[in-house]
Amino acid sequence: MPAKSKSAKKPESVKAETIKSKNEITGTSFAVKIAVASVLFLLLKNFAHRGIEKALGESRVYEKTEPFFTIDNFMDEEDIDELRQFLYKKRRFVTGLDAFSDDRGIEHIGEGVEADENGNCPKDLYRTEQGNCFIPGRFDIGKHFFLTGGLTGAKETYEKLLSSIYAYYGILPKDFIETSPILERLFKRPQYVEAMDTLCRNHGQEDYYFKPTQVNIVLVTPGQDLPLHYDNGWFWGANRFTIPDYLTVAMTTSGLWDHLKIRQAQSVVYLHGSKDDPIFKHGGNYVFYPDGPGGEMRQIVPKRGMGVIMDGGQIPHGGQRIAEHYTVANHGGKDQFHRVEYQSNDTWYIMNDDDIISTVKTEDLRLSFVWRGLCFDSKEHADSYDSYPEIPLEEILNTFEADMKKRGVLPKNAPRPPPKEFAHTLIKTYISMPPQNVHNTLPFNYCIISKEYPWLKTILSPFCEDVQPYKRLNDELPPARPFCGGRKSTNCPEE
C-alpha cells in the first residue's frame, strides 16, 4: 500500500508541478505580454500625443527669450481697494465683443454676407449685431481653444466649451489714463521703469514714449477659461480698426511687416483675494510662452498686487480655467447680450439678455487691472500715428498670398482662393499656437468632432462632458437691479 500510494502520489505531484510550472510559464508570458502591450500602448499614445501636438500646434522657438517681468507687491493695498470700489460703481461688466466693438473699420476680407431671412449665417460665419455674417475677428483663438480643449485640456462638447469662454470687461474712462494718480504711481516704480525700458527701447533708441491705448478691469467667473492667444498687432498703417483682428496677428507672426511693427506692452495687476490671503483660491494660472510657441510653457500663480508685464503681441498667453471642477451654467446662445452685474452684498448676477443664469460672490471672481499701450520714439512720433496713411487691405492680402505661394502653401500659378477659404488658409499658416495644457494630457479635444458629426455625440458621451440644460433663475432669485440705457450703457448716472 505504501508503495502503491507512493506510486499513486507521484503522477499527482508531477501533474501538480507541471501545472504549477505551466502556470508560472503562462503567468510569466502573460506578464511579459502585458508589459510589451503596455510599452507599445505608451509608445503609441506618446506617438499620437506628439503627432497631434504637431498637427495642432507650432514648434517655432524664438532665437531669444522675449522679456517678461513679474513684480511682487507692485500695487499697494490702498490703490487695490480704490480700484475694487470701481467694480461696485461700474456694476456692469460686458464681454469683449461689446466692450471692444467701438469704431470697427473693415471687418472682413470679402467673405461677408447678410444673414438669411431667419437670421442664420452660412457655416463657419458668425452673425454680428448688424445682421452680417463674417469670420469672427478672433477666429484664431476659438479654433485653437475648441480643438485643444484649452489650457486644462478639457474633453468637452462644443456647446459646453461655448459656456466657458466668457471674461467680462469694464473699460476705464479715457481720462483715467492721463489723470489717475494710481497709474502715475505705478508708472514711477523703478521695476516698472526697468520693464518698460526693456520692452520699449529695443532698437537702441535714445528715448521712448509709451502711449497707453486701453485700461480696463477684467472679471473672470468660476468655470471660465481665458484661451491662449496673441494680442492684436499694431503697425504703421494697420491695426484692429482698419483690418480684421486675425490679420493684425498674422502680420506679427509672419514677420512680413516687422519694419512697420510697433512694439507694445501689456501690464496686468491682480486685485482678487485679501492682504492676508493674496493667492487666488480658484487657481487659474497665467500661462505664457516667452520662448515662442515651440518653447517651454511657463506659469504664474495669480497673486493680489502682483504685476505681470510683457509684449502680449509677441508672447502667446492665456489663463487656465478658474475653479476647474465647477459645473458652469449653460450660458445660452453666443449672440445674446452676456454680462455680469453687481447686485448688493458682494453678489453678482451672470446674465444673458433678461435671464439670470448664475450668481457669484465677489471673492470667487478673478480680478485684474490691465493696461496696454504702444512704444513710440517720442510724443510727436506717437501723435503722428493716427494720421499715418492706411495700408490698403488688398496690399496686405497680396503680400500674404505671395508669401504663401513662395512657401508652397498655395499653388504658384493659381488664382487666390475665395475669401473664406483664403482667410482659413492664412490663419492655419501663420497663427498656430502651442496645443499643450497644464495637465500634459492629450492635447486634442475629440469631443468637438460631434459638432461636425452630431450622430457621434451619443457614442462619445461617456468620454465627453456636455453642457447643463439652460436654466433661467429669475423665479428663484430677487430681481436684478434695473440698469439704465441699452446694451451700450455701462452705468446709471443717477446711481
| Rounded least distance, CB 146 to Fe ion, Å | 19
Output the smallest distance, CB 112 to Fe ion, in A.
Answer: 26
- Contact segment (CB under 5 A) with Fe ion among 85-93, 143-151, 308-316, 377-385 equals 308-316
> Would you count residue 231 as binding Fe ion (CB under 5 A)?
yes
What is the C-alpha to C-alpha distance for residues 405 and 414, in angstroms, rounded to an integer? 9
Q: Which is nearer to Fe ion, 196 or 391 (CB)?
A: 196
Task: Please work out, in degrees rounded to the nearest 5, the angle formed at the alpha carbon of residue 123 by the alpha carbons of 118 and 125.
Answer: 85
Backbone angles phi, psi at 169, to 5 degrees: -120, 145
Considering only CA atoms, give the Rg of the chain: 28
Residue 435: C-alpha distances to residues 114, 195, 262, 412 (Å): 34, 29, 27, 30
Q: Binding residue for Fe ion (CB under 5 A) from 149, 312, 316, 434?
A: 312
Contact between 313 and Fe ion by CB under 5 A: the answer reads no
Is the Cβ of residue 169 or residue 257 nearer to Fe ion in the bound state?
169
Beta bridge partners, 93, equal: 340
CB-wise, 163 or 368, nearer to Fe ion?
368
Distance CA 133, CA 115 (A): 6
x/- site string to Fe ion, residues 78 to 97, per CB under 5 A?
--------------------
CB of 312 to Fe ion, least distance (A): 4
| 225 lines the binding site for Fe ion (CB under 5 A) | no
Segment contacting Fe ion (CB under 5 A): 194-202, 311-319, 357-365, 411-419? Answer: 311-319
Question: For Fe ion, which is the closer residue by CB, 53 or 231?
Answer: 231
State the virtual CA torsion across 194, 200, 202, 208 in degrees, nearest 10: -100
Residue 111 or 231: the one with the smaller Cβ distance to Fe ion is 231
CA end-to-end span of the chain, whole Å?
110
Distance, CA of 114 to CA of 49 (rounded, Å): 41
Of all residues in the chain, what percent are helix, strand and coil, respectively (each to 5)? Answer: 35, 20, 45
Q: What amino acid occupies position 229?
A: H
What totals of helices (H) and strands (E) does the chain contain, helices first?
14, 17
Q: Check residue 245 for interaction with Fe ion (CB under 5 A).
A: no
Nearer to Fe ion, 317 or 331 (CB): 317
Our CB check for Fe ion shows the closer of 146 and 288 to be: 288
Q: Which of residues 359-418 bind Fe ion (CB under 5 A)?
A: none
Provide the binding-site residues for Fe ion, judged by CB under 5 A: 231, 312
